Amino acid sequence: MSILRHGSSRALPVATVGTLLTLATQSGPLDEFSRAEGAAEFIRSRTALRPEIALVLGSGLGEFAESLTDPVRIPYSEIPHFPRSTAIGHAGRLMMGRIADTPVAVMQGRVHLYEGHSVKDVAFPIRVFGRLGIRAVILTNAAGGISSDLHPGCLVLIRDHINLQGVSPLAGPNDDRFGLRFFDMGNAYDQEFREIAQAEAKRLGIWLGSGVYAALLGPSFETHAEIKYLQKIGADLVGMSTVPEVIVARHMGIRVLAISCVTNLAAGLSDQPITHEEVLEIGARVQKEFVALLSAVIPRIATQPA
């Protein structure tokens, strides 16, 4: 079976309003499932496009969304229950459109734990994508390079992670409608998707590394001692995002491809202090390669089985 959902391209009738009313009249606070369903219903009411793949664009990497055809822009502030991004370099809107023939939903910016959002809110958009019927997500981020073969401007496939954020979006009662209480994370960063990305990078002449991503809370960059520790425990990259989204995606059976853009050497590995401006500037410099790689990978991933 293909992950493509050969659904109708017609706009849904505005029965949506009925669903939203039903949700709104439930007594007590809505549970996460109902909130995700409410947000998904709202998105469906705004466009007839039924996305197959979702993308999350990290700091300084938002330009990819400009390559969508016939985009529909939905600010996060309009989507019920959706968290709002305050980080600089994050536009804070959902873009729905096509890359070649593949319908996609693209988040231009995400929210982070360091903004004060709960870990469930950070991962909530992935719940919504799951309810929209998406079977694959591509997560991107800016990261510090720890491994000696990484330097600013490198694109790197995440092949595994180390969660040092101290929280999981799945803590608390499990909702079986989303997924199982306990599940395997062995192939969380889908091997077939990584092989496709490597093959497309090679074809395009783009250097694409592979590494283990350590997620920290932030917002301060790391101390030199923390980076030495991360080196010892096997991390190649360090950042402040992505891991909660991956956990929730795998909980829902959504396949994951994740790509970091190395924007700086990790703390203590160069003489220069790390700045957010540098992170955004390097992101902007690799946009061309990044857009080319994603545009080549998306149609191939869309033909993969669920």
Query: Could you count the other beta carbons within 10 Å of the beta carbon of residue 134?
Result: 25
- Beta strand pairing status for 155-163 and 255-265? antiparallel
* Nearer to ligand HPA (CB atom), residue 238 or residue 254: 238
The residue of the chain with the least Cβ separation from ligand HPA equals 144
Radius of gyration of the chain (CA): 19
Q: Where along the sequence are the contacts to ligand HPA (CB under 6 A)?
A: 142-144, 221-222, 238-240, 263-264, 266, 274, 279
What tokens were used for 242? 């992505």
CB of 159 to ligand HPA, least distance (A): 18
* Nearer to ligand HPA (CB atom), residue 43 or residue 214: 214
CA 173 vs CA 122, 168, 185, 269: distances in Å: 18, 12, 19, 42
Distance, CA of 163 to CA of 225 (rounded, Å): 18
CB burial readout 258-284, b (16+ within 10 A) else e: bbbbbbbbbbbbeeeebebebbbebbe
Distance, CA of 88 to CA of 93 (rounded, Å): 13
CB of 92 to ligand HPA, least distance (A): 18
Write out the catalytic residue numbers.
59, 90, 112, 114-115, 142, 240-241, 264, 276
Q: What secondary structure does DSSP assign to 262-275, as a single string?
A: EEEEPTTSSSSPP-
Query: Could you count the other beta carbons within 10 Å of the beta carbon of residue 91?
Result: 17
CB of 98 to ligand HPA, least distance (A): 30
CB of 59 to ligand HPA, least distance (A): 7
* Nearer to ligand HPA (CB atom), residue 53 or residue 238: 238
* Nearer to ligand HPA (CB atom), residue 44 or residue 112: 112
CB of 87 to ligand HPA, least distance (A): 11
CA 14 vs CA 18, 39, 41, 42, 251: distances in Å: 8, 14, 10, 10, 30
* Nearer to ligand HPA (CB atom), residue 137 or residue 143: 143
* Nearer to ligand HPA (CB atom), residue 110 or residue 255: 110
Triad 165, 32, 118: Cα angle to 5° = 25
CB of 235 to ligand HPA, least distance (A): 11
